[in-house]
Structure 1
């Protein structure tokens, strides 16, 4: 092949490369414009009930009282969204990315939210009754006053979350990780927390009555004033657990050999055969 032909082909390939790169850049810009247009359209109509928005890029979308009833929001990018008091009843949120979002006061009842990422999100006062949240990331989220009654929270992570006054009545929370969570005045009546990690939680005045705490870890946890009546502690570890003022009347399967350094006070109510040292810390 002549040098002239070689230079000609090289020039053609270079032109094609530039065209391809330019086309790629144009596609990215067009996609970004399309996302902005979609967000603007959804915002203008106040939501998108029953819409199929799977894989949509809705990062940063902001509106109050949005209606996404039964919408398909599966694997959507909703990071930093601001959607307080929204309607997400029966919506599909599976594997959605919603870190640092504000869903305070929103209704998610009966939604499918398995493996959703809600890290550092605000769910204050939200309704998550009967929601499927299995294996979801809710670390450092705020769930104070939220309703998780009957929800499926198996293997969820709520590390360092804040849940003052939240309710988890009858929730399935097997294998959940709530380490260092602030759960003051929270209601776990009849919840199932088998093998859950409750190390270093603050659950002052929380209600665990009738809950299944089989195999849980309560290391350096504060359960001062907690209602622990009729709780099943089979295989649970209570190490340096604070129990002043707690009521353990009717608690079952407490193993003295697995109560290590736990303490209470004169107001602590214990089942027969269980003794605690007086708290000095």
Structure 2
């Protein structure tokens, strides 16, 4: 079920190489559906409840902004940095994130179901109840962050790494994995979907911790 943890058996995720141009400060009042934002810096703004459905953000930086209940479904976020953002209930369902860094975020209930993430790094911060159901993740790195009850149900993960991060109560139900590296996760608590770990690599210590769940999945009783 779980492949060998030899280094040569795991393809490393490709990370984004961001080189933002000189940015102009955003001077608009509110985001607009299908808006086009290029080379802008959104800093220290309250974007709570604003509607940017289908908007495109290219070469942008979003820093220390409030995103509570922001409507960004089907948005395209490209070659951009989101740093120190915070909020509950941000809607990014069906969004596309490519060559993006999400740094020190404090988010809860983020909706990314059906989204596509490619060459994305999530570094630091804490995200509660992250919804990535049926999303597609390719070349994604979770690094030094805390994910509380993230839901990857039915998602496709390819070249995804979890490094020095805490996965608490993760749901991997129905996930399809290829080259998913869990060995360096500081905490790995799988609530559901241990049977979907084919295509992942784990450490010997993690295998020991997961042994009861794996035995239960196989119908094996362990009797002293």
TM-score by length of 2: 0.76
The 1:121/1:251 distance shift into structure 2, 3 A limit, reads same
Partners of 1:71 and 1:88 within 8 A in 2: no
CA distance in 1: counterparts of 2:122 and 2:170, whole angstroms: 18
The 1:241/1:135 distance shift into structure 2, 3 A limit, reads same
Query: How far did residue 87 of structure 1 move?
Result: 0.9
Partners of 1:155 and 1:177 within 8 A in 2: yes
CA distance in 2: counterparts of 1:131 and 1:193, whole angstroms: 17
2:25 corresponding residue in structure 1: 72
CA distance in 1: counterparts of 2:87 and 2:77, whole angstroms: 13
Q: Superposed, which structure 2 residues align to 1:165-204 within 5 Å?
A: 165-204=114-153
SS of match in other structure, 1:178:
strand
The 1:255/1:125 distance shift into structure 2, 3 A limit, reads same
For residues 195-218 of structure 1, what are the alpha-carbon distances to aligned partners after superposition, in whole Å with 9 as ceiling and x for unaligned? Answer: 222221221012232111122322
Partners of 1:218 and 1:241 within 8 A in 2: no
SS of match in other structure, 1:149:
strand
CA RMSD of aligned residues (A): 2.6
User: Which has more radius of gyration?
Assistant: 1
1:278 corresponding residue in structure 2: 217
Higher relative contact order (CA 8 A, sep 6+): 2
Query: How far did residue 260 of structure 1 move?
Result: 5.2
For residues 163-215 of structure 1, what are the alpha-carbon distances to aligned partners after superposition, in whole Å with 9 as ceiling and x for unaligned? Answer: 11112211110224232122101222211101222221221012232111122
Q: Superposed, which structure 2 residues align to 1:249-260 within 5 Å?
A: 249-253=199-203, 255-256=205-206, 259=209
Partners of 1:239 and 1:258 within 8 A in 2: no
Q: More deviation in 138-147 or 208-217?
A: 208-217
CA distance in 2: counterparts of 1:238 and 1:160, whole angstroms: 20
Please list every run of at least 4 consecutive aligned residues from structure 1 whose deviation after the TM superposition is greater than 4 angstroms.
Answer: none
Query: Runs of 5+ in structure 2 lacking a partner?
Result: 1-22, 220-224
Partners of 2:153 and 2:174 within 8 A in 1: yes
- Give 1 or 2: higher strand fraction: 2
Partners of 1:71 and 1:92 within 8 A in 2: yes
Partners of 1:167 and 1:187 within 8 A in 2: yes
2:107 corresponding residue in structure 1: 158
